[in-house]
Structure 1
Amino acid sequence: MPASRLRTSTLAIAINAAFVAAALAQQAPSVAQLDAVQVTADRRSEDAKDVPVSATVLRPEYLDALSTSASDVRVLAGKAPSLNVESSNGRVFPRFYIRGYGNTDFTTYASQPVSLVYDDIVYENAFIKGFPMFDLASVEVLRGPQGTQFGRNTPGGVVKFNSARPVLGASEGYASVSYGTHATSSVEGAINLPISSDWAARLSLLQQHRDDWVTSQASGQELEGYDDAALRLQLLFKPSDDFEGLFNAHARKLNGTARLFRANIFRPGSNQLVDGFDEDKAYIDGHNAQELTTYGGSANLTFSSGDITFHSITGYEGISDYYSRGDIDGGYGAGAFVDPTQPYGPGFIPFSVETAGGIKSLDQFTQELRAQSNYDGPLNWQGGLYYFYDDVQGESYDYDTIGGGALSGYDLTRQKTNSWAAFASLDYQATEQLDLRAGIRYTHDRKTFDILQWDRDSAPPVGGKTSGSKVTGDVSATFALTDAVNLYARAARGYRGASFGPPSPGVPVTVASPETVDSYELGIKADLWDRRGRLAFDIYSMDIKDQQLTAVGGTSNAVQLINAKKSQAYGAELDFELLVSENLRFGLNGSYNDTEIKDAGLATSTCSPWVCTVTDPLDEQGRAYIDGNRLPQAAKWIGNLNARYGIPMGDGAELFFYTDWSYRSEVNFFLYRSKEFVGQPLFEGGLKIGYSWEAGKYEASVFCRNCTDQIRATGAIDFDNLTGFINDPRIIGAQFRASF
């Protein structure tokens, strides 16, 4: 269907939905109602219906069900419209995509257009974006550019984690323990302690474990296990209604195996896994290990002076230790191009490659100063300043697997970023029905990249500097069709500063120019049947200018950053909840995202023609033209269904059934198209059956995640063999949870 027809059709659907929703909203009242959903897209808590942004909020019960299998943040993929999350680094370095807009870059300094904000602090480097989810009040997915109010690099949207806060005067907490397949365990808990009438503390802990469950048939190594621990301590100081200080300290320690790459798992000429594929077996002969230590803290101060509230948010994030080593070729032996007389496999292995990446140090500092009005009149405003600084030293290692794993190459590089911004926004209640909002932001970025050490055969490359400024902003209007139904329109511009691509032997430092996105959105939000139902539906379009893309070559796993002149995306998103009865709750959400690269002359290197089947036209150098291709990891269809049914058992007890199922359609793994490197559709489900008593104070349950044990490749290595990596296996287990 042409884009113009789709836009017209979806607009017609939206208009019809508005009138249908308005009619449904007038139904007779009922006793049971859905609880209110709050979002903080404009840096203050508001009813989701009143905020002119496409947003989804995942709440504690849902997050608890997802976490039973000791999952990491990748479990959020497909749990909200237009959201995908994947990683080629396992439990660290998650890559977020919203509306198909993200970045597949896997290097130390990778920049992403989707920002992760954890307790009001921007987590910029991808290695700290994997901080675990535990003791959360909610997760907000804010789609489209959010650059007016939030940190930096947010043209794609924001995933926002909100921790449960300390409560004054309350002694309470909870503990949750789960255990399942492969000795997968998760121990989570929190305790809230009143210190005085003005002070309260909340300590939250998490410990996750999985045994090694994959065995290398080549080396005998046991793989895919991990121990992941995290803690968070919060102190709340509130001596009066006019002042509040919230202080946060947190840390994480991970030990386990790196992402397991598996050689030649794709059937040539097809994206199907090879016949007889066994996820419990691998064939690597290189060393595999991963360790990470992160820590940080923040101070969030709020002072009210009559009609104006002042905010100061100071944050620090650091990494003291990161090292991840893996067998990149995914197989064993020296390979056909090195010594064809010796055994190698499985399948065709041209040569052996074993590398590691590390971070010698990472320091990130952020400071936000913001003021907001609290007038009783129709006009209110916000304004402030934001400063961002980080200093990252990244390490890259090469090893000689056949030579006993000896170090054969090393480099140490450094990137420093300085960024500051000034921002302001207005909210004007023009009439009883019409609310108007507008925001503007000026951002200035400066980066430097230096080679600190270069222990390789090739000459050391040259570093670089880059700087740039941009004015971005948004305008929106919300019209109350009835008390229960709102229509909104929003236009926004987002910006991402220039990025460096780290060098490798034979590949210099590359620089991608800044990118800009213009987004347009129309939507409807409605409370239905006296708040027994809730509906949000929107259509959008995006134009991305000079999009930064990551190109990797077939005979080298090196990264080169490039810019596409233009990319386009458009689609529609739906969120729906229904309280069928007091005991049955149903949720449905989904999205359609159509993305396309628009650059007639842009071509990239591909895998070797004797390895994979490239379907794009080629230039004289054998590079593939990528004009017209979908963006990598951009699924056209994403959907999620969830339901909970409870059977009261008397005296505050309940037998309950909970299930959720997520679907995403096929995705391209790389910029170019080939028959093999297209991820198959993925359909995963979870089930939880439990019994709670004493009004929910205690709960015992059994569960499964990926209940059907569907195994799919979720990514690949663009190398001279058909190497890929897969999703998590089925986990069946039991959970006990107690509140006190």
Structure 2
Amino acid sequence: MSKSTVAKSSLLFGAAIGALFCSAGAFAQDAAASSAQQGEEAPLGDIVVTAERRPESLQKVPLSVAVVSGDALRSYQTGGDDILSLAGRVPGLYAETTTGRIFPRFYIRGLGNIDFYLGASQPVSIIQDDVVLEHVVLKSNPVFDVAQTEVLRGPQGSLFGRNTTAGIIKFDTIKPTQEFEGRGQFSYGSYNTVTADAGVGGPIVKDLLAFRVSALYQHRDNWVDNTFTGTSADGTVSPKKDAMGGFDERDIRLQLLFTPGDRFSVNVSAHARDYRGTSTLFHRAALKKGSNDVSAEPRDKVAFDEAMNNPQAYKTYGESVRAAYDFGGVVLTSISAYETTSGFSRGDTDGGAAVNFRDTNSGQSQGNVRKLDQFTQEVRLASDGDSRFKWQIGGMYFDSRDITEFYQRTYFLNTADYNPNNWVRLHDVNTSWAAFGQVSYEILPSLTITAGGRVTEDKKTTQLLKTADKPNGAVTYGGRRFVELKDTQPSWDVSALYQINPDVSVYARIARGFRGPTIQGRSAVFNSDFTTANSETILSWEAGFKSNLFNNRLRLNATAFTYTVNDIQLNGNDANGSSVLFNADKAKAYGLEAEADWHPTSNLSLGLGLSLLHSEIKDKRVYAQVCALNKVVVCTVQNPTVTAPVFGTPTVFAKIDGQPLPNAPEYTVNFNGRYDVPLGNGGKAFISTDWNLQGYTNFVLYKTKEFYSNGTFEGGLKIGYSAPGGAYEVALFGRNITNEKNLKGVIENYMAAVFNEPRVIGISVSGKFR
């Protein structure tokens, strides 16, 4: 798609949405007037966020923040979905995985990381209860008993966790209170899909000690058949009905809140996770050369000759202590946390039996996190109260150490090709310290200026503890066995918020972010040297407005942005299909995000979100290796190409200058609505729905006729009864109700497809007490 086409499409689409908002606004004004005559109260309450580490109204925070309530998130996850369910529900946020539920990858405003390496760094940070989760496995920690989710778009270098160039997804769970209360939700659906999410708590010693216990259980039966009928070289059982696709998720969290006085509080939290499931299923040759059509490929059947039907399993444990002391106008906060995980994920990486394709190449691999230890310590001193001048200063230390192993195909064979030495062990260490601060001053009653800064040192080392050797133990690896990278950089942001009137504000923000250098060590399993990437930096500009209109019945917020990432870290593939790190000169992007929440009557609520994005990689010198199998290019490359030797083999590379960032949708639209019918007993019958639509999304660094999606959509529906006061709810639900089969990712050299989840229809029951 050309720049002019994108620009015209964006303008037309923006105009259409603008017209819709204006029409909605006019209708809302009439509805509001009618409701006011009938004495109805305005239904839109204030949303309180902690995007700047202090409770504030969403409408008064000078940056782009999207909020998803805990109830909405649980509704999306009734069909067994995990953290990826946020994708398509928040403008500007995209998420995907090619390694199953234990390795989600997030993108905000087009910035993310397609690397599947277990040690990969990502420009989107996950924060749970003020604790940064940096390792890719920790980012998959399930979210349950959640109060609220906030998505902070753009660089977030001043206040949260570690530096991030793209943004933050922040989850806040329900905390212990001094009143006994509880909530729970249970759902059952297709494929024997079960989700139970619950929490209960209250005082142990009144006004001194309170608790909350939260738990999550999710299950799905295997539903994908393995149809391979030949001989397996590693003992994989096939053909087998219902061999893959299921999972079991068991999670628990205990919180204790100590309040020995009005000034001092300590929240101690501990959690555990036990997960077993199926890694991502690749459908080999689902994509045909010259076509993007995958309609002929069955989603519930594969033909895997190896990898034992793609098992994966992880156990994770963590603890945190959050202590706060109010000195009177100044609050000192300390957050100490420890996270650990271990597990494995195994997969048939060629996505099908080679013999079925008259090919001699087969592929499988397994990644193990033998042990991970992440320790974080943050200390923050902040002003308290509603004075015109607010400030906070602090420091953070981050320490992550893991032992990671990668096993390749011949390690698993029971044939003459068996090689017990075909695996590597790596030791990764990442340490970082930072000092940060922020000030905010209300210059005028209607104008507030905020500025923040941080200096960060980020250090990474990777040591190769074991090489991938020949069966007789002969060592053939000739690359580096130890790499250390370190960088110290400033991050900062400045913003201004001007309140035009009590209902409308405008703001502007400029921010600089930083992502430290990165090391890719997995390639050593192929006897290839480590690859590395230097630090990337981003300069981002945004401006927008926030409004509550028509007697607080329409909340309409919008932001326009542009950014430049210098020395952007990208990932390509080498001749072995292993990820290769490199820096491109820069990437540029601009776009728009808009969200509307409209309650035209007390019984009808509507939500609409839109994101528009244009991104480009800018580097005339950088080329990416293209899809090739047995030295033959198997896809239709539409960029200029060159041929250069790799390991002595002529290899085709495509020019990527001008290409969009991978997994960066040109537009997304999300819609939700609910209509209530009041009943005589004070309860309600209701119907609710949510939909998302995704525009052109390229999955790789170069342009092809195969490796993209465009115009994909997915929807959910819920019909039920809510008891008086919302004490309980019973409903029928459907997720992906039209059973769309959407392309979510690809394996290039095998023309393999990754699909979204199938339709799940079921029943849900939820309730609360206090």
- TM normalised by structure 2 equals 0.90
Identify which of 199, 204, 207 aligns with 2:217: 207
Q: Deviations over 1:34-90 (max 9, x none)?
A: 121111110011100000111110012211211111111111111101100001111
- CA pair 17-183 structure 1, distance change in 2 beyond 3 A: closer
Is 1:224 the counterpart of 2:241? The answer is: no
> How much does 1:10 deviate?
11
Q: Which residue of 2 aligns with 1:269?
A: 290
Matches within 5 A, 1:579-658: 579-608=599-628, 609-621=632-644, 622-658=652-688
Q: Deviations over 1:276-332 (max 9, x none)?
A: x2111101111221000011011111111111111101111111x211111111111
Q: Which residue of 1 aligns with 2:233?
A: none
Q: Which residue of 1 aligns with 2:314?
A: 292
Q: Which residue of 1 aligns with 2:51?
A: 41
Is 1:182 the counterpart of 2:191? The answer is: yes
**Paired residues of 1:271 and 1:680 also in contact (CA < 8 A):** no
> How much does 1:695 deviate?
2.2
Q: Deviations over 1:663-683 (max 9, x none)?
A: 111311111222111134320
**Within 2, Cα distance between the matches of 1:217 and 1:231?**
37
Q: Deviations over 1:243-294 (max 9, x none)?
A: 111111111111112111111011221111163x211110111122100001
> How much does 1:12 deviate?
11
Is 1:55 the counterpart of 2:65? The answer is: yes
**Paired residues of 2:468 and 2:527 also in contact (CA < 8 A):** no
**Within 2, Cα distance between the matches of 1:126 and 1:313?**
21
Is 1:453 the counterpart of 2:466? The answer is: yes
Per the alignment, in what secondary structure is the counterpart of residue 59 of structure 2?
Answer: helix
**Paired residues of 2:622 and 2:657 also in contact (CA < 8 A):** yes
**Paired residues of 2:449 and 2:496 also in contact (CA < 8 A):** yes
Q: Which residue of 2 aligns with 1:304?
A: 326
Identity of aligned residues (%): 37
Q: Which residue of 2 aligns with 1:339?
A: none
> How much does 1:716 deviate?
1.1
**Paired residues of 1:212 and 1:225 also in contact (CA < 8 A):** yes
- CA pair 243-12 structure 1, distance change in 2 beyond 3 A: farther
Q: Which residue of 1 aligns with 2:647?
A: none
Identify which of 505, 508, 514 aligns with 1:486: 505
Identify which of 90, 112, 116 aligns with 2:126: 116
> How much does 1:21 deviate?
12
Identify which of 105, 128, 131 aligns with 2:138: 128
Residue 477 of structure 2 aligns to which amino acid in structure 1? A
Identify which of 340, 356, 362 aligns with 1:352: 362
Q: Which residue of 2 aligns with 1:337?
A: none
Residue 587 of structure 1 aligns to which amino acid in structure 2? G
- CA pair 11-717 structure 1, distance change in 2 beyond 3 A: closer
> How much does 1:737 deviate?
1.5
> How much does 1:529 deviate?
1.1
Is 1:515 the counterpart of 2:536? The answer is: yes
Is 1:154 the counterpart of 2:188? The answer is: no
**Within 2, Cα distance between the matches of 1:486 and 1:153?**
28
Identify which of 434, 452, 466 aligns with 2:447: 434
**Within 1, Cα distance between the matches of 2:565 and 2:164?**
13
Is 1:470 the counterpart of 2:486? The answer is: no
- CA pair 728-12 structure 1, distance change in 2 beyond 3 A: closer
- CA pair 474-175 structure 1, distance change in 2 beyond 3 A: same
**Within 2, Cα distance between the matches of 1:680 and 1:6?**
14
Identify which of 186, 205, 212 aligns with 1:196: 205
- CA pair 349-80 structure 1, distance change in 2 beyond 3 A: farther
Q: Which residue of 1 aligns with 2:588?
A: 568
**Paired residues of 2:295 and 2:741 also in contact (CA < 8 A):** no
Q: Which residue of 2 aligns with 1:340?
A: none
> How much does 1:439 deviate?
0.5
Q: Which residue of 1 aligns with 2:232?
A: none
- CA pair 193-499 structure 1, distance change in 2 beyond 3 A: same
Q: CA RMSD in A?
A: 2.4
Residue 88 of structure 2 aligns to which amino acid in structure 1? G
Q: Which residue of 1 aligns with 2:697?
A: 667
Per the alignment, in what secondary structure is the counterpart of residue 49 of structure 1?
Answer: helix
Is 1:329 the counterpart of 2:350? The answer is: yes
Compare the two structures and name the one with the higher helix fraction: 2
Q: Which residue of 1 aligns with 2:151?
A: 141
> How much does 1:459 deviate?
1.4
**Paired residues of 1:25 and 1:485 also in contact (CA < 8 A):** no
Residue 693 of structure 1 aligns to which amino acid in structure 2? A
Is 1:256 the counterpart of 2:274? The answer is: no
> How much does 1:580 deviate?
1.4
Per the alignment, in what secondary structure is the counterpart of residue 162 of structure 1?
Answer: strand
Which shows bigger deviation, 601-610 or 101-110?
Answer: 601-610
> How much does 1:651 deviate?
2.2
Which shows bigger deviation, 429-438 or 35-44?
Answer: 35-44
> How much does 1:17 deviate?
12
Q: Deviations over 1:593-619 (max 9, x none)?
A: 111000001001111254111111112
Residue 534 of structure 2 aligns to which amino acid in structure 1? S
**Within 1, Cα distance between the matches of 2:12 and 2:392?**
37
Structure 1 gaps of 5+ residues are: 334-343
> How much does 1:213 deviate?
0.3
**Within 1, Cα distance between the matches of 2:19 and 2:728?**
45
**Within 2, Cα distance between the matches of 1:15 and 1:688?**
28
**Paired residues of 1:296 and 1:316 also in contact (CA < 8 A):** yes
**Paired residues of 1:652 and 1:696 also in contact (CA < 8 A):** no
Residue 483 of structure 1 aligns to which amino acid in structure 2? P
Q: Which residue of 1 aligns with 2:234?
A: none
- CA pair 21-705 structure 1, distance change in 2 beyond 3 A: closer
**Within 2, Cα distance between the matches of 1:8 and 1:183?**
45
Is 1:496 the counterpart of 2:504? The answer is: no
- CA pair 385-69 structure 1, distance change in 2 beyond 3 A: same
Residue 279 of structure 1 aligns to which amino acid in structure 2? R
**Within 2, Cα distance between the matches of 1:134 and 1:177?**
12
- CA pair 648-262 structure 1, distance change in 2 beyond 3 A: same
**Within 2, Cα distance between the matches of 1:293 and 1:378?**
47
Q: Deviations over 1:443-462 (max 9, x none)?
A: 01111110111132331531
**Paired residues of 1:21 and 1:526 also in contact (CA < 8 A):** no
Identify which of 667, 673, 682 aligns with 2:712: 682
**Within 1, Cα distance between the matches of 2:722 and 2:494?**
47
Q: Deviations over 1:629-684 (max 9, x none)?
A: 01110000111000011111122311111100011113111112221111343200
Aligned residues: 724
Identify which of 294, 301, 304 aligns with 1:281: 301
Q: Which residue of 1 aligns with 2:765?
A: 736
Per the alignment, in what secondary structure is the counterpart of residue 155 of structure 1?
Answer: coil
